[in-house]
Amino acid sequence: MTAVERFDVEKVAKIFQDCLHESDDVLLDSYLEAYEEINKFFHLMGSVFGFVSSDVRSKIDILCEYRRQETTGERFLTIKTMITYEKEEQLLKDNNYVSGSRTLLRLHRGLEFIYEFLKRLSELNECDKTHGCCKSAYNDTLAKHHPWVVRKGAVVAMYALPTQGELLKRVCINVSRAIEVLPEMLQHTKSVYDRVELLYTAHDLHALP
């Protein structure tokens, strides 16, 4: 495992800090760039969240493709412009259309888990086992959107998680620097999460199937 493949807490903090747009919006390119790093975290967690990592990869690819397309690129500049476009064009009701708003909602839910897990992880000591805080973070977030068989498998796999110190060594480039920057990263992650949450609430999109 090379250093470049590990999870860069400092990079996520910087990207999320820069991706807030105007007073109530989020730049989609920056959001997806931060999520590229976050997906490394899911991947490095191993079998516990392997199913999440593959799903996140497909969601990132869908949204990146919309940004690259000449016909939709500007409409997907921010999360607000994306939602507005898809609502005005009645695309959320089109079963033949892969909705960006629906796709991003899945990433948004994953971000809530990442925030809660890393927040609880930061409160542990180096020798503390991590399965308890991972399970509680999962049950409070992603589990609400997963079928029983997925929830059961995830919770069982969590018991194989190492101590806080070992987990950070597994996923982070520089553990001491990651611990130092983590509070800042959590702050910026929460700011982005809250903005997206408000946008989906304002447009009544939390229940998108």
Instruction: Give the residue extent of every domain in the chain.
Output: 9-113+173-203
Q: Choose among 121, 201, 195: nearest CA to 161.
A: 121
The model's pLDDT over 55-95, given as tens digits with 9 standing for 90+, comes to: 899 999 999 999 999 888 899 999 999 999 999 999 999 99
The model's pLDDT over 146-171, given as tens digits with 9 standing for 90+, comes to: 899 988 988 898 998 999 999 999 99
**Residue 197 and residue 108 in contact, taking contact as beta carbons nearer than 8 Å:** yes
The model's pLDDT over 162-205, given as tens digits with 9 standing for 90+, comes to: 999 999 999 998 999 999 999 999 999 999 999 999 999 999 99
**Residue 134 and residue 163 in contact, taking contact as beta carbons nearer than 8 Å:** no
Name which CATH class applies to 9-113+173-203.
mainly alpha
